[in-house]
Chain A
Amino acid sequence: MQIIKTLTAIAITGTVIIGVSSTQAAVSGPKPESINWSFNGVFGTYDRASLQRGFQVFQNVCAGCHSLNLVAFRNLKALGYNENEVKAIAAEYEVQDGPNEDGDMFDRPATPADHWPAPFANSRAAAAMNGGAVPPDLSLITKARGSGGDSAIRVSMLQPSGFPLGADYVHGLLTGYLEEAPVGFDLPEGKYYNKYYPGHSIAMSSPLGEDAVEYNDGTKATTDQMSRDVTTFLVWASEPELEHRKQLGVKVILFLIVLTAMLYALKRRIWANVH
């Protein structure tokens, strides 16, 4: 059927054009390394061991400054922890509750229903403690970052896997620090040079020194390993539905292909006497 070929060609061309047209001028600079993540691709899933290690990195390193407001302790079951382990993790943290019968706010150990407690009371406090820069909330960080904008979307089209470039960017950022800014680059006081951060001058110091955490499963905690693990954890935090979405998607699309083929056969049959 010539017409179907034409329509397909139009659809694909249109998609590509849209992809290109919605790509704004990205901040030029080196592209972060493209990693072959376990969650990439149509059949992508999260590596549970990496998620748990990444959670450890988040707890021990990131959580000191960054909030994770949209994640509740109960969600951690998706990392492979059981009910009791989740309860035990939650109990390590204190959250504010109240008012009690006397009208006072009070602190109590967190339960699985509580959301992750933020390290600072508000953004003013966060800025005051971090040299004027507010550490962003990390709940959606891999969906909210591409290298300066829309190229993440183009990549996600070529490599349909949620937001691989968002993940590649976070991994690149965490491993992309230079000890000294290149000659001629005017680095402001209290800032650090990062290869992948837009404008290169970032307020966060390199967070992942070798052996910054001691992994429970004995994996060697290199900077690259920690960065991959915590990125996996953050992609999960951004897109907890990703595995379910992709698994359902494979079934839905297979169903639709079979249905469409049957409709096409029926169409041919009904139209046989017209031509």
Chain B
Amino acid sequence: MSGGTSKFQSNNGLVNWVEHRLPIFSFMDAQLNQYPTPKNLNYFWNFGSLAGIILVIMIVSGIALAMSYTPHTEFAFSSVERIMRDVNSGWLIRYLHVNGASMFFIVVYIHMFRGLYYGSYKAPREILWMIGIFILLAMMATAFMGYVLPWGQMSFWGATVITNLFSALPIIGEPIVKLLWGGFVVENATLNRFFALHYLLPFVIVGLIFMHLWALHMHHSNNPTGVEIKDEKQDTIPFHPYYTIKDLYGLGLLLTFFAFFIFFAPNYFGHPDNYIMADPLVTPAHIVPEWYFLPFYAILRAFTTDFFMYIPFAWLMSAKLAGVIAMFASILVLLALPWLDRSHIRSSNYRPAFRIFYWVFVIDCLVLGWVGGQAAEGILVTIGQWATFWYFFHLIIVVPVVGVLERPKALPNSIAASINGAPQAAE
């Protein structure tokens, strides 16, 4: 990692003995203490560390829950209720974990939209961004399987609907679905393997986060101007104490927000039907995924046989398959974003046209989320289809074209200059 020029020194004999054999103290000193960080980061740069802390909360509370949970279709529902009623502070641990999942997605989505606004995905941070997308995918898989574990009605029917999507794939579809189910329907074998994977994947996320941080520390944080660090003395401040205290203050705000849900609206993000034990013979009136999947669910459902984005592909595949492909593509296309964006300017603060499209895109994603939670009927179908169209149109057409055509504003000479209000020069 760069920034490894630690001035670490110690008078402690034991520390020096270890340091000589494993330079862990100088490593930590360089990466967590002296690590040079742009001095102009705003509060949107808090969300990365917040996401990391929530992951730790999720793993710790999750391990505690796993000690009292029974992954069996007959006992899963009542074992969760046993946690709620008979395990000491079990209700607190479970509500922490359940609402923690929603907090994780809120924080990560804000983190991603920050990256989109300030162009944090651009060279030399492409791999940093791509690892982030893989973290999102791993989070989604983990969250989906975790929602199945209480074995309520929405657990069961959500699992049935989502796993069935894979059956739309030609040739490999049916074998994939059987592999996911461990049989011919969603049943005990499904619950067992989902539990095993739900326990495994968070540790995969931990590994991905290490790579994410490694890539981050190679070229340091982006910043609101998008101008690279030019003079370490003038442009940066050491991570500790400046950003440790700023992150702690942000953590205080997040925990207050989080605690409100845990203690006063613990089922706000959930669905009442999940307090009914799974019954394969009774289908709920509306099957809806968790809120953080709703934009993607809207994209999936937008693909009806008369959807104008489907018609060109109608000779090739079913609308269902097209929807499944579009849903996965909506995330995978983000991997190509560093190359789709042709502008050299990172920060949207200096991109007047792109900035407008950025906010339209944010609204578009919110509209998709809203449509995803509604019953697919009437005008909502049309709104969902146009929002789906705009999602892809923005990323594949608007981003490259605006990058080429736009006349950006003048960038500041340096981070320090942007703060001091020094005269600006065109790049």
Chain A interface residues toward B at CB < 8 A: 3-4, 7, 10-11, 14, 17-25, 27, 42, 69-70, 75, 136, 139-140, 143-146, 148-150, 152-153, 156-157, 160-163, 166, 198, 238, 240-241, 245-246, 248-250, 252-253, 256-257, 259-260, 263-264, 266-267, 270-271, 274-275
Contacts and interface: CB of A to CB of B under 8 A. Distances in A.
Interface residues of B, number: 54
Given A21-B373, A143-B267, A241-B91, A256 B252 contact: yes
A61 to B, nearest CB: 22
10 contacts: A144-B272, A145-B272, A160-B264, A161-B264, A249-B264, A253-B256, A256-B256, A257-B256, A263-B252, A266-B245
Interface string B219-251: 000000000000000000100011001101100
Contacts of A22: 269, 271, 288, 291, 294, 373
A149 B374 CA distance: 11
A220 to B, nearest CB: 33
Contacts of B294: 21-22
Given A3-B42, A253-B256, A256-B259, A146 B374 contact: no
Interface stretch (B18-26, B68-76, B330-338, B364-372): B364-372
A27 B285 contact: yes
A249 B269 contact: no
B275 interface: yes
Given A17-B370, A267-B245, A160 B265 contact: yes
A166 B266 CA distance: 14
A270 B241 contact: yes
A255 to B, nearest CB: 9
B85 A25 contact: no
Given A21-B370, A24-B286, A198-B285, A274 B267 contact: no
A248 B264 CA distance: 10
Q: Chain B interface mostly helix, strand, loop or mixed?
A: helix
* Most A-side CB within 10 Å, residue of B256, B265, B377: B265
A204 to B, nearest CB: 17
A148 B241 CA distance: 52
A24 B272 contact: no
A134 B278 CA distance: 15
B329 to A, nearest CB: 22
B91 A156 contact: no
Interface in B260-300: 260, 262-273, 275-276, 285-286, 288, 291, 294
Nearest to A7: B43
A42 B39 CA distance: 40
A90 B418 CA distance: 75
Given A252-B259, A267-B248, 8 more contacts: A24-B374, A69-B78, A143-B272, A198-B285, A241-B85, A241-B91, A253-B263, A257-B256
A42 B273 CA distance: 25
A19 B242 contact: no
Contacts, number: 152
Contact of A249 (B262, B275, B373): B262
B260 A264 contact: no
Interface string B353-382: 000000000000010011011110100000
A156 B237 CA distance: 44
Q: Is the interface of A mostly helix, strand, loop or mixed?
A: helix
Contact of B275 (A140, A156, A263): A140
A21 B259 contact: no
Contacts of B252: 256, 259-260, 263-264
Contacts of B373: 20-24, 150
A156 B39 contact: no
A27 B272 CA distance: 14
A166 B374 CA distance: 21
Given A143-B275, A144-B273, A149-B271, A249 B259 contact: yes
Given A143-B275, A263-B248, A24 B288 contact: yes
A69 B276 CA distance: 13
B410 interface: no
A31 to B, nearest CB: 16
Q: Which of A25, A166, A266 has the most CB of B within 10 A?
A: A25
Interface in B21-61: 39, 42-43
B174 interface: no
Given A7-B43, A149-B285, A248-B263, A20 B272 contact: no
Contacts of A10: 110
Contact of A274 (B106, B237, B249, B291): B237
Given A27-B285, A143-B272, A198-B285, A252 B245 contact: no
B238 to A, nearest CB: 11
A240 B81 CA distance: 11
B397 to A, nearest CB: 26
A25 to B, nearest CB: 4
- Max chain B Cβ within 10 angstroms of own Cβ: one of A14, A17, A42, A249: A249
Given A249-B262, A260-B252, A144 B106 contact: no
A250 B262 CA distance: 11
Contact of A156 (B43, B262, B268, B286): B268
A25 B245 CA distance: 44
B196 interface: no
B255 interface: yes
Contacts of B265: 156-157, 160
B257 interface: yes
B256 A260 contact: yes
A21 B291 contact: yes
B206 interface: no
B218 interface: no
Contacts of B286: 24-25, 149
Contacts of B249: 260, 263-264, 266-267
B272 A150 contact: yes
Given A144-B273, A161-B264, A4 B43 contact: yes
Given A17-B369, A160-B260, A253-B263, A241 B84 contact: yes
Nearest to B78: A70
Nearest to B253: A260
A258 B356 CA distance: 39
